Structure 1
Amino acid sequence: MKIPFLGAPAAPLDPALVAPMSTAARPELTGGRRVGVLVQHGFTGNPVSMRPWAEDLAARGYAVEMPLLPGHGTRWQDMNRTSWADWVATVDRAVETLVAENDVVVAVGLSMGGALCLRMAADRGDDLAGLVLVNPAVDTLRKDVKLLPALQHVVPAMPGIANDIKKPGADEHGYPMTPLKAAASMFAGYAELRKDLPRITIPVLYFRSAEDHVVDISSSRALNAGLSSKDFEERVLEDSFHVATLDNDAPRIFAEAAEFIERVTGQQQG
């Protein structure tokens, strides 16, 4: 096997660019209830991909916790020293903060961030009123994933998956490489998550891009077959690729997600 040339280590991303976000609730804008929202980015990404959505949610009066996952937002090499368990623990702490400080909490996530939201719903569904998922990853049709347990010990990384965006000029500032130890851990986490999907009974709003070059149709099939939620809706995005939160359909996602959050959190307006 030919090991790809990885070149010199890239300069780390600007910490200010990829900084996490934490805001307090403004119940005067949300019918008197303190509503918290977990906002979670995906694999090899960082809060850049979710910041416009997080800012939209904060402007609507929601408390926002948008953590930066361990190994992300620096250099791709750092990810190979972290794992699915580390990412789950980080998201769990963010949910703990939101639950302690608010009356009701929902979670929104992109790609692996969506999977982490699903993990929270399976593990602590009583703490969440609903989920909004954008191109969540829980499965794959790729055959080479089966090689990851062995390949991770031979090759540190392969070409990256960042910037699958249709809108010209948009940039999620993701890693240029896919770290294979981290990827192997992620797919193992997905396998366990799929077993636990039937434990998820809370409302779920699911956005899926019609053309996505990162997450394939197997994740949609797994969610439709596995979730026990009786309040589940899948909506197709026709004008965006994988990172739809920075793409042409972003305004639609933000608006429809806000309607969903208002409904499932029981806000009384006016």
Structure 2
Amino acid sequence: MALPEDENRVHPGADENDDEPAHAQGLTHLIRRSIGGLGTFARRLLLGVLLLAVALVGIRAYLSTQGPPLRPWQTLVPGEADADAIANMGWADYVKAEAAMFDDVHRRLRAKLEPADRTPLNRYHDESLASPLRFERDWNRSFVLEPEGEPRGVAVMLHGLTDSPYSMRSLAQLYAAHGYVALVPRLPGHGTVPAGLTREGRKEWNAVVDLAMREAQRRAGPDRPIHLVGYSNGAALALLHQLRRIERDQPSDVERIVLLSPMIEVNRFARYAGLAGVPAFFTRYAKSAWLDLLPEYNPFKYNSFPVRAARESYLVTADLQRALEAVSRQQRMDRLPPVLAFQSVVDDTVSARAVMQRLFDALPDNGSELELFDVNRSRVLAPMLRPAATQWTNEILQRPRDYTLTVLGVASQDDASVLARSRAAHAGAIAAQPIGLAYPAEVYSLSHVALPFADDDPLYGLHPKGTGGLRLGAVAVRGERNGLLVSQDALSRLGSNPFHAYMLSRIAGTIEPDDR
């Protein structure tokens, strides 16, 4: 790949003083002086770090040349509106543009598929079991659920990273059943092909959140309440929307915030994920722009994961932390509406402890509640749990806080019935109440991806409802390790929430406070 000439670039092999721009000569001189001013040990350490960085980039480049080539869904980038264009759209405009984009992607992708791509588990083969076209509707697209009769309120629901509006389906049905209009936008880059996330990012996501909130305000009018619901990355976007309004000295535009597996803090690797894609600057190493290149067998979620998506998710959390700090400095946290959040104690995607320490401990005394799903501490499973990941919840109920904290776990090592152990805000004692469910014997914890889906979800449920069709949540494959393209961890990760009915009842209590 030929690089464009740039008058400001020092070309390899050129004499460092020949025709070098004055500012470049000054920078070179400054670097030399800086390194020269370091001690011998510091110079060696700096040189070692630079050599290590070069070696890692070289290894990354080499590894990207291994394996099969990129497939069409990893190279075909959909044409979506940018943030500025979205800012000038209404809901109907966005849905219309989305439909045209889906049709274009479908047409172009069909033309690129090869015979080897036409498998029973390729979501981009229309006749496959994984095709979204096999469902009653394509849940990858933005949708609205209308209640029967006159609407009582509006709920805006934001899905997670690499996800789709399908993950908000059961919550949308809950709100619609309680008389709310459920608006579920598809965030740009999602729902089509993984390559979409090599271009779209947080600017476009924030623009769609604003668009959906404008539509919610239009439908709600001056008197009806609005709830903002977010899952994972969508939860971070929901909070960020509210905090930025408060930071600008605007009133909150929602009555309640509901969060599932909120992305308050991600794995620290995401901060430097962009470095992994450096070799992709050269066409030969294009695959280094991807952290995962996997078969796409999931109708409503990407398996392949681009470097840029990891970087953008980190930047969303960085924006969120900056906004939290800014609003705290302004002493305006009391303007944030009450937050109800659900989080698994064990979460490989986000930091569960950060949800409590960095978000809830910073909230005002406004009726917020945090519900933690504990691990299965039965006599059989407890000895196999990693203490570093699971023991942090042992003492958290011992002191009162400005919010209600609930931990759901087994009654005892010999009793699998689940108790909700709660300490209300400022309460002097812990209350324990059975929820009428037992911890499944074969499940040792919930997962980041499990919370939005019911145990009987036809696609992701551990015990899916109905017969036939694709049942990803109940997959049970056996064989030797390292024999599959997809990791065994990914196949065994819990895809549904055995306490989903309890979670819905808690959310319903915020919609109908008298029913709590």
Same fold (TM over 0.5): yes
Maintained 8 Å contact 1:245/1:253: no
Unaligned runs of 5+ in 1: 162-170
Tell me what 1:235 maps to.
371
Q: Which residue does the alignment assign to 1:118? A: 239
The equivalences for 1:1-270 within 5 A come to 1=60, 2-3=63-64, 5=67, 7-10=70-73, 12=124, 14=132, 16-26=138-148, 34-102=152-220, 103-124=224-245, 126-140=252-266, 142-154=267-279, 155-159=288-292, 173-197=300-324, 199=327, 200=333, 201-220=336-355, 221-228=357-364, 230-238=366-374, 240-243=446-449, 244-246=451-453, 247=496, 248-263=498-513
Q: Structure 1 residues 157 and 54 mapped into 2: Cα distance closer, same or farther (>3 Å)?
A: same
Please report how far the alpha carbon of residue 256 of structure 1 lies from its aligned counterpart in structure 2 after TM superposition. Answer: 0.7
CA separation of 1:53 and 1:236: change in aligned 2, threshold 3 A:
same
Following superposition, the deviation at residue 146 of structure 1 comes to 2.9
Aligned with 1:158: secondary structure?
strand
Tell me how far 1:255 sits from its aligned partner: 1.4
Deviation at 1:67, TM superposition (A): 0.5
Q: Distance in 2 between matches of 1:112 and 1:146?
A: 15
Deviates more, 1:18-27 or 1:98-107: 18-27
TM-score (norm 2): 0.45
**Residues matched between the structures, number:** 251
Q: Which has the larger radius of gyration?
A: 2
**Retained in 2: the 8 A contact 1:39–1:67?**
yes
Amino acid at match of 1:63: V
User: Which residue number corresponds to residue 167 of structure 1?
Assistant: none
Partner of 2:72, secondary structure, is coil
CA distance in 1: counterparts of 2:162 and 2:309, whole angstroms: 9
Helix, strand or coil at the partner of 1:206: strand
Bigger relative contact order, structure 1 or 2, given CA contacts below 8 A and separation 6+?
Answer: 1
Deviation at 1:152, TM superposition (A): 3.4
Q: TM-score, normalised by structure 1?
A: 0.83
**2:291 is matched by which residue type in structure 1?**
M
* 152-161 vs 175-184, greater mean Cα deviation: 152-161
Distance 1:130 1:172 in 2: 31
How big is the shift at 1:34?
2.5
Q: Return the alpha-carbon distance in structure 1 between the equivalents of residues 209 and 315 of structure 2.
A: 18
1:131 match: secondary structure: strand
Residue 72 of structure 1, CA deviation: 0.2
Note closer, same or farther for the CA distance 1:39–1:146 as it changes in structure 2 (3 Å cut).
Answer: closer
User: Per-residue deviation at 1:172?
Assistant: 7.4
State the shift of 1:218 in Å: 4.6
Structure 2: gaps (5+ residues): 1-59, 74-122, 125-130, 246-250, 280-287, 328-332, 375-444, 454-495
CA distance in 2, matches of 1:132, 1:73: 23
Kept in 2: contact 1:194–1:226 (CA 8 A): no
Contact persistence 2:344–2:373 (CA under 8 A): yes
In 2, the alpha carbon distance for the partners of 1:151 and 1:176 equals 18
Provide closer, same or farther for how the CA distance between residues 69 and 160 of structure 1 changes in structure 2, counting only shifts above 3 A. Answer: farther
The question of whether the paired residues in 1 share the 8 Å contact of 2:344 and 2:352 is answered with no
C-alpha displacement at 1:211, in angstroms?
2.4
TM-superposed deviation, 1:217 = 2.5
Task: Report the Cα distance in structure 2 between the residues aligned to 1:175 and 1:216, rounded to whole angstroms.
Answer: 22
Deviation at 1:7, TM superposition (A): 4.1
Give 3-state SS (helix, strand or coil) of 1:245's partner. Answer: coil
Distance apart, 1:181 and its partner CA:
1.3
1:6-28: CA deviations, max 9, x gaps?
Answer: 64234546371312221345565
Q: Say which SS state the counterpart of residue 452 (structure 2) adopts.
A: helix
Show the counterpart of 1:166. Answer: none
Question: Structure 2: how far apart are the matches of 1:139 and 1:90?
Answer: 22
SS at match of 1:193: helix
Q: Deviations over 1:86-128 (max 9, x none)?
A: 0011111111111111121011111001111101221335211
- Computed over aligned residues only, the root mean square deviation of the Cα atoms, in angstroms, reads 2.6
Query: Is 2:197–2:306's contact at 8 Å kept on the other side of the alignment?
Result: yes
Q: Given that residues 84 and 185 in structure 1 are in contact (C-alpha distance below 8 angstroms), is that contact kept between their aligned partners in structure 2?
A: yes
Q: What SS does the aligned partner of 1:127 have? A: coil
CA 1:256–1:172: 2 relative to 1, 3 Å? farther
Give SS of 2:343's match.
strand
Query: What is the deviation of 1:59?
Result: 1.8
Q: Residue 158 of structure 2 contacts residue 229 of structure 2 at CA under 8 Å; is this kept in 1?
A: yes
CA distance in 2, matches of 1:135, 1:117: 13
* Identity among equivalent pairs (%): 25
**What is the Cα deviation at residue 42 of structure 1?**
0.2
